[in-house]
Amino acid sequence: MINLFSILIYTALLVSSLGIFMLLSKKHILSILIGIELFLNGINLFFITVSKSYSNDAADIFILFILVITACEVAIGLAIFLVNQRINKTIDINDLNKLKDF
């Protein structure tokens, strides 16, 4: 019989794997940002599952730290996306080299 702990661990592994796949295979900035979000949310799910299964709340601080980093990453990534879209009129990751002059 499969218990809830195994289901949550496999779900965290699946979400993290999908995030890594999107991060490495996509060429658009928004897809890469979504991949990073999926990867970090999978890590958060893993930490929550492990900390609650052992009745240890020490991972909650680390999860909060990851959420703050994720929010900063989204803000910076969207700013780069908007500047790239405004200057290059594209969302391709290969055109980010043209932003060096600005």
Q: Which range marks the domain in which residue 95 is found?
A: 29-101
The verdict on residue 4 lying in a domain is: no
Q: Is 3 helix (H, G, I), strand (E, B) or coil?
A: coil
How many folded domains does the chain comprise?
A: 1
Please tell me the pTM assigned to this model: 0.82
**For residue 93, is it left (φ>0), alpha (ψ between -120 and 50) or beta?**
alpha
The verdict on residue 21 lying in a domain is: no
Cβ-contact 39, 9 below 8 angstroms: no
Q: What's the maximum distance between 2 C-alpha atoms anywhere in the chain?
A: 60
The verdict on residue 67 lying in a domain is: yes
Q: What is the per-residue burial (b if ≥16 Cβ within 10 Å, else e) of 9-35?
A: beebeebbeebeebbeeeeebeebbbb
Q: Where is pLDDT greater, at 87 or 17?
A: 17
DSSP secondary structure letter of residue 55: T
Q: What is the pLDDT of residue 96?
A: 74
Q: What is the pLDDT of residue 1?
A: 58
The verdict on residue 7 lying in a domain is: no
The verdict on residue 13 lying in a domain is: no
Distance CA 38, CA 40 (A): 6
Q: pLDDT band at 28, cuts 50/70/90?
A: confident
The verdict on residue 97 lying in a domain is: yes
The verdict on residue 19 lying in a domain is: no
The verdict on residue 5 lying in a domain is: no
Tens digit of each residue's pLDDT (9 = 90 or more) over 82-102: 888 888 787 777 777 776 766
Tens digit of each residue's pLDDT (9 = 90 or more) over 48-91: 999 888 888 788 888 899 999 999 999 998 888 888 888 878 77
